[in-house]
Amino acid sequence: MPTLQEKALLVKLFYLNQQNSVAAVKEFRRMKKIRKGPMSPCALLKIIQEFETTRQLGILPGRGRKQISSSRVATAVVEAISQSPHGSMIVSVVSCVLDMPHSTVRKILRRILNFYPYKIKPVHLLQDGDSEVHTTFTLEFFTRMVVDVTWPWNILWSDEAHFCLNGYVSTHNCRIRAEENPHATQEQPLHPDKVTVWCGSTATFIIGPYFFEEITANGIQTCSVTGQR
């Protein structure tokens, strides 16, 4: 939250930069030698509108959100955890219950209650008997290596991947570095046309890649690679 002095400087820079909020925020960050904060250009425009209406930068008496103690937040967190199947909580739930901004809830959770966000990692479901199969395979693998050290070189490692024909690229691990949030979007159809590609490799050679398609009544469609195909 910017101080009153910072708000005043931002308002001054706004008018000095021909009422350009983006230029004002960038100039403020340059002067303070910071990379981000204390607010976005949109938030500065709201302050300008309030300033031009009330001629004040501070919160008027009787206005603004009421302060809520961390004990109330802790109580809401405990209630959310008790109702969660994973023993966790959601920031939006606590924010809605206490009528608090998401940013305030996050700060209280992190700095006071020492709650941190974690991502649940999906893993393969193990069936009955999988542990014995894995153990048997491991012992057989090491036994064959004792007899022939080069035996693993003959193992064929294979996998398949699906590629969209419309040029879509997965952005799962993609990060865009910029001074401002570009608010960029990437349109993708619900069921895009894809092609399945299979490839195998050993220590000495590569098999493929092979592109799998099948002809149906609706035209050419892709198909998945299975152990029988």
Percent of the chain with pLDDT over 70: 77
Same domain, 156 and 191: yes
Classify residue 171: in a domain, yes or no: yes
Same domain, 170 and 195: yes
- Region 4-11 average pLDDT: 85
What confidence tens digit (pLDDT) does each residue in 132-181 have?
A: 999 999 999 999 999 998 888 989 999 888 777 777 766 666 666 677 77
Classify residue 125: in a domain, yes or no: no
Predicted confidence band of residue 207 (pLDDT cuts 50, 70, 90)? very high
Range with the lowest mean pLDDT among 126-130, 182-186, 207-211? Answer: 182-186
Same domain, 142 and 203: yes
Domain that holds residue 137: 130-222
Q: With 0.95 as the threshold, say if the pTM is over it.
A: no
Same domain, 137 and 100: no
Classify residue 88: in a domain, yes or no: yes
**HEC profile of the chain:** CCCHHHHHHHHHHHHHCCCCHHHHHHHHHHHHCCCCCCCCHHHHHHHHHHHHHHCCCCCCCCCCCCCCCHHHHHHHHHHHHHHCCCCCCCHHHHHHHHCCCHHHHHHHHHHCCCCCCCCCCCCCCCCCCHHHHHHHHHHHHHHHHHHCCCHHHHCCEEEEEEEECCCCCCCCCCCCCCCCCCCCCCCCCCCCCEEEEEEEECCCCEEEEEEEEEEECCEEEECCCCCCC
Same domain, 141 and 197: yes
- CA 200, CA 202: separation in Å to the nearest integer? 7
Same domain, 211 and 162: yes
Predicted confidence band of residue 35 (pLDDT cuts 50, 70, 90)? confident
What confidence tens digit (pLDDT) does each residue in 78-128 have?
A: 666 666 655 666 777 777 776 778 787 777 777 777 777 777 777 888 888
**Residue 157's pLDDT is what?**
92
